[in-house]
Amino acid sequence: MSYYLGLAQLIGIHTLLGLSAYVLMLTGQLSLGQAGFFAIGAYSAGILTVIFEVPILPALLAGAVIAAFFAFIVGFPALRVKGLMLVVATIAFGEFVRLFFFNLSWRVPRGDIVVGPDSTNGFREIRYFVANGWSPWEITAFVWTFVILVMAALWWMDRSRAGAVLRAVGEDELATQSVGVNLTAVKVTAMTAGGFIAGIGGALYAHTATYVDHLTFTVLLATFAVSYPILGGLSSVFGTLVAVVFIQGVLVEGLRFMGDWRNIVFGLLIIMAMNLKPSGLFDARTAQILKRAVGLGAQEKSDA
């Protein structure tokens, strides 16, 4: 049972990671730096609970705010350039963050052991859940509370004026600018929101895994982050969830018999998906067809 709970936690955390890329992709921008914001959230929240012995909830929110702050800072120079240059800039940012934590050593004695990030050896003993006697069920519920909150917030935003503005920027920047929308403000806001969501995901990851090191936050993780909304399509937040369940649940776990070779399947899957359906596997049209086939409303179509 604990295996399936662990998988459920992983799916929840990766959904947050995917949604952080989803927000920015609504504005038509692709960021390969989400692993960097995820890492900032993971290390910040871990340092807060381990070194400063802060409770999990404030630590998690602080991690998210710090990640959002860095997203905001990176957003300005990075969004002056757009499209492919933004991709390069965000890859560089993600690698910079990874190298920063690769070099970070902050060891503090706690009782008879020394805790804290230990550069190449990683950051061990992020044991808040264990120390406070949380059961796997409670941890899973805690993770999914945040997943549901974020999904609900994004779902609601999509139905408000803010969602319309984001999508308008993604569809046609020139037209949107000409009706008086401040493009930079919209993009930096989306970037900041994405950083916040990735920060929550990272903070949850650090505490469920109890151990993080710089090798967790590579370009591969950033690629996973953007491939969820790309495969799931941008028509709704549920597409991202479906894609995470498909990749992490079916592909990664279901192909366990292939051993390490299954990572190759991930590469092939992206190539095939981009050739067959460049706008995403569950794009607006597929969603319509599914909706009609099931004959239900917009919410239920994710179950199809």
Instruction: Tell me which residues touch other proteins (CB under 8 A).
Output: 30, 32, 77-78, 80-85, 87-89, 91-93, 95-96, 99-100, 102-103, 119, 218-220, 223, 226-227, 230, 260-261, 263-264, 266-271, 274-275, 278-279
Closest to other proteins by CB, 12 or 280: 280
Could you tell me the smallest distance in angstroms from the CB atom of residue 278 to other proteins? Answer: 4
Q: How far is the CB of 221 from other proteins (least distance, A)?
A: 12
Closest to other proteins by CB, 32 vs 139, is 32
Using alpha carbons, list the distances in angstroms from residue 8 to 15, 137, 143, 147, 218: 10, 10, 9, 11, 22
b or e along 96-123 (b: 16 or more beta carbons within 10 Å of the residue's beta carbon)? ebbeebbeeeeeeeeeeeebbbeeeeeb
Least distance from other proteins to the Cβ atom of residue 228, Å: 12
Q: Which residues pair with 118 in a beta bridge?
A: 105
Smallest distance, Å, CB 247 to other proteins?
Answer: 12
Residues 6+ positions from 28 with CB-CB distance below 8 Å: 169, 170, 171, 173
Coil/strand/helix, residue 234: coil
The angle, 0 to 180 degrees and rounded to 10, between the axes of the packed helices 84-103 and 34-50 is 30
Closer CB to other proteins, 130 or 264, in the complex: 264
With 0-12 / 13-18 / 19 or more C-beta atoms within 10 angstroms meaning exposed / middle / buried, residue 77 is exposed
> How far apart (Å, rounded) are the C-alpha atoms in residues 72 and 42?
18
Shortest distance, CB of residue 36 to other proteins, whole angstroms? 11
Tokens of 127: 């044991």
Q: Smaller CB distance to other proteins: residue 65 or 274?
A: 274
Which residue, 90 or 208, has its beta carbon nearer to other proteins?
90
CB of 25 to other proteins, least distance (A): 9
Of residues 16 and 79, the one with the C-beta less far from other proteins: 79
